[in-house]
Chains A and B, each alone.
Chain A
Amino acid sequence: MKANGNEKISLWQLFILITIFAIGTAVVVGTGEEAKQDVWISEVIAASVGVIIVWSYFQLISFSDQKNLYEMLFFAFGKILGTFMCILYALYFFYIASRNIRDFGELMNITILPFTPMEVIVIAMMLPVMYTVYLGLEVLARVTEVISPYIIGILIVVGLLLFFSEGLQFTHLLPILGEGFGPVFEAVFPTLLTFPYGEVIVFTVIMTATTRFSHVGKVGGAAVAASGLLIIYANVIQVAALGVDLKTRTLFPLMTAAREIMLMEFIERVDILVVFILMCGVFIKVSVFFYAGLKGLEYIFLIPINKYIIPIGMLIPFFAVLNSVNIVEHFEEGLVIVPYLLHLPLQFGIPVLLFCIIWMKKRKNKSVSGGIAS
């Protein structure tokens, strides 16, 4: 079975997919509270490590002769254990998708739609995701290409508007490294590393569908670097606009920052722009996770993904609502349990394990074939 059917995306599409995927929600939700005003330093470190992570994923794939994640799992763990692992990853991707949708639902409930039931919001949000994934990976890539200028443009414009409405005080960024590197690393590991850079693990399913695979490593690295820059930019304007204390107390700092925009008595109340960024970001992110998860099911049950879209697509909002009873539990789960229980093992542990097993299998094969040859 050929990975991803005959759907191919270009390198540029992969670049923009990874970039938007990584900045998608990270620019809107607050991350790295531990580092306070030095969050941008943490982000620099995390992004640099992120580049290495993506590069490693690429190396892993090319090392295993361009197998995607699921093929690697089957190759390394055999039929039964491999199936189990695939289910694990598929569920992981669905779970993260449902978390993202929930994040979004919370934002909508808090800000612009307080009385609309969460169920309606998450189901409505799932509609374009299901439609896009139904149309295929290529369409998803193209949609990302089309909306990415708006996401990035709006992000930059929000910063500029804040700057021109004199809402930015760069002194909020001082003192640099007041408490030393301790808090900075505390923020990097594991939260910033796993979110959003570690989540790029999902692209091990998609990378093999690119037209020129040999460049994927470089492109992926560049994409993570680009998203790193944008996240740093977002973090800097958040801190400069709100100050550390308010930024860390706000659920959606960029949204709060955007509320400070007041320009020419006309450009004000532009929160909807931030909602738009988050919505597009969530849309892309969930679509990618959803697609990758469905792909896993395809490998396990050998049924094309379009058959799963409706049932699984309905389960995700269901779980988004049921995952946690209240917002605190939701964030607690995301910051305390998920990174250690899910992110670290699935983003780093298993890939390392995969590498070892594939390496051993390859060596064995080589020695066997070498033996025959000699």
Chain B
Amino acid sequence: MRGKGILLVLSVIVILSGCWDRKELDQVSLVTGLALEVSDDEAFSLTIEAINASELNDQTAEGMTPTITYELKGLTMAELLNKMNLGITRELNFSHTRTLIIDEKVAKEGISRFLQFLEKSGQFRNDFQIIVARGVRAKDIITTTYPIQKVPSLKMYEQFRTIKDNWGGYPDSALTDFVFALTSPGRHPVAAAVTIRGNPNEGRNVDDNRELDLNAVIEYDGMAMFHKDRLVGFLSAEDTRNYMWTQDIDQTTATADCGEDGFFALQVYNSHTKVTANYDGDAPAFTLRIIIEGDIHDNQCPDSLGEISTYERYQSIMEDHLEQKLTTTITNVQNKYGVDVFGFGEHLSKQQYKKFKEHKDDWDEEFKKAKISVNAKVYIRRDGMRTKSFIEQVDE
């Protein structure tokens, strides 16, 4: 009985003395985006994008700014983030951070010193995207508003997810993916790149959302390639889609020419990529086998899709087209940048560990001379609501 009493007292003490970590929701600001830029006088400058929640609720919105941005310069991220209260009233909470925007200049200098903080800190989660601002200031990205998702970071996050699910040309660059590629000896990291179409200064105004033709829109602009943690170059959105095809894409639409008259588009709903790694003499050789299933959704040529022969012809056209496009993208990266963002080294390490071990340290050199062959197999399953195209009759 006395024991129970003591237990009770202990529980009461614990309960009464608690609340170290208690933070009321109206005492914190949720940060959704961070922007890193170089600074002349200090090591770098950091801008945060914090949510003004009542502006995102229909009932409480008053037409004010949906986010609050604030910039500080300093030496370490950890300190800067705590110091933000120089200009911001509330304590910051980073668990809902969606984007980390990196200025091109910072990216060229190397970003691992920032990432290690983000990874170590228990406050951040893995689900934010690392994004390189291409040609514009990083800060401008998180100050460009959009009518539906008023918070720029949330807009980008949603947009990227949609791109990934539909057109497929988006490289997932969450923190874990990035760090994984960074630490893997047979792969270099990539990150998404964004830019602003229009005038960044006008995008800053909430009133910009009233325009039918927005003055500034954040636009996805392919991907950035890194050597270790340093930016070496960009790929266009089209090339990024090809890149993603080497990484096993889910869904996309591919266009090839169906003769002199025009093009046809294949909506791919199932694609499977398999990489076979081997050593051909002293140069590594990789074979990409891609199996694609899709429907024809657009056909500008008069060929009748009611015949098997057309299907077969289109299939082989598409195969050739894809093989050629992918090979071009890969060799372009090989020759121009020489960084293995495709993870071919990783495939080699899984399949021929001993060979890879020999070249582990000079893998980039090996990658440059690697022979890549792409082998696509396309299956066209069906073609929309109409079998025969009326173009046939138009032409006659």
Contact = CB atoms under 8 A, between A and B. Distances in A.
A243 B178 CA distance: 12
B353 A178 contact: yes
Interface string A219-245: 000000000000000000000001101
Main secondary structure of the interface of B (DSSP, over half): helix
A244 B176 CA distance: 12
A309 to B, nearest CB: 6
B351 A175 contact: yes
Nearest to B181: A243
Given A113-B21, A116-B20, A124 B184 contact: no
B14 A120 contact: yes
A245 B183 contact: yes
Interface string B1-37: 0010011001100100110110000000000000000
A96 B122 CA distance: 27
B187 to A, nearest CB: 10
B303 interface: no
Given A174-B350, A175-B349, A245-B184, A115 B14 contact: no
A110 B122 contact: yes
B369 to A, nearest CB: 23
Interface string B166-210: 000000000010011001100000000000000000000000000
Interface residues of B, number: 24
B126 interface: yes
A127 interface: yes
Contact of B180 (A114, A123, A245, A310): A245
Interface string B221-252: 00000000000000000000000000000000
B125 A120 contact: no
Interface string A108-149: 001111111100100110010011001000000000000000
B383 interface: no
A141 to B, nearest CB: 21
A178 B353 CA distance: 6
Contacts of A127: 7, 10-11, 14
B6 A310 contact: yes
B180 A117 contact: no
Interface string A243-260: 101100000000010011
Given A110-B122, A116-B21, A123 B179 contact: no
B127 interface: yes
A326 interface: no
Nearest to B179: A246
A260 B20 contact: no
B97 to A, nearest CB: 13
Contacts of A243: 180, 184
Contacts of A123: 10, 14
Interface residues of A, number: 32
A246 to B, nearest CB: 6
Given A123-B14, A174-B350, A269-B125, A131 B20 contact: no
Given A111-B122, A114-B122, A306-B3, A246 B14 contact: no
Contacts of A171: 350
A111 B357 CA distance: 37
A344 interface: no
A246 B179 CA distance: 8
Contact of B21 (A114, A174, A309): A114
Given A120-B14, A174-B350, A178-B353, A242 B176 contact: yes
A262 interface: yes
Contacts of B6: 310
Contacts of A124: 14
B3 A310 contact: yes
A306 B14 CA distance: 22
B385 to A, nearest CB: 30
A174 B349 CA distance: 8
24 contacts: A113-B20, A113-B21, A115-B21, A116-B21, A120-B14, A124-B14, A127-B7, A127-B10, A131-B7, A134-B7, A171-B350, A174-B350, A174-B351, A175-B350, A175-B353, A178-B357, A242-B180, A245-B183, A246-B179, A256-B126, A259-B125, A260-B176, A262-B127, A310-B7
Interface of A: 110-117, 120, 123-124, 127, 130-131, 134, 171, 174-175, 178, 242-243, 245-246, 256, 259-260, 262, 268-269, 306, 309-310
Given A178-B357, A245-B184, A259-B125, 7 more contacts: A116-B20, A120-B20, A174-B351, A175-B350, A243-B184, A245-B180, A310-B7
Interface of B: 3, 6-7, 10-11, 14, 17-18, 20-21, 122, 125-127, 176, 179-180, 183-184, 349-351, 353, 357
